[in-house]
Amino acid sequence: QVELAESGGGSAQAGGSLRLSCVASGSAYSSQCMGWFRQDPGKEREAVAHISVVSGSTFYADSVKGRFTLSLDNAANTLNLEMNTLKVQDTAIYYCAAAPDFRCQSGDFRADAMDHWGKGTPVTVSS
């Protein structure tokens, strides 16, 4: 069992930066595919970025590639998302998610493929 708790987020100006963190509790952390989704009201939840805790391999959505960076602090069971050069379009609720590592290895980042979710943290980017 994995429980996820997000922190960070908040408000920023376009062009600015924010950092999200997700702490995972439970013994399964080291075998997980972990990542971030975001969702605007009325829209589908979309995959933003994922990382294999096992191999360190990463996936980034085209919309954030080159601006967002994932990192792991394995000693603290923590996934970080550094968000730079923020755009108004990045405004959303951001959710941390986890699934068994084969999801990362197979590139399956569908929201309904994730087993565990955090409660979400809001990010608002203003122009």
Q: What pLDDT, on the 0 to 100 scale, is given for residue 2?
A: 86
* 107 closest CA partner among 64, 68, 49: 49
Tokens of 69: 């960076």
pLDDT band at 115 (very low <50, low <70, confident <90, very high): very high
Q: What is the mean pLDDT of residues 12-34?
A: 93
Q: What pLDDT, on the 0 to 100 scale, is given for residue 75?
A: 92
Q: What pLDDT, on the 0 to 100 scale, is given for residue 123?
A: 98
What length does the chain have?
Answer: 127
Asked if residue 29 has pLDDT above 90, the reply is: no
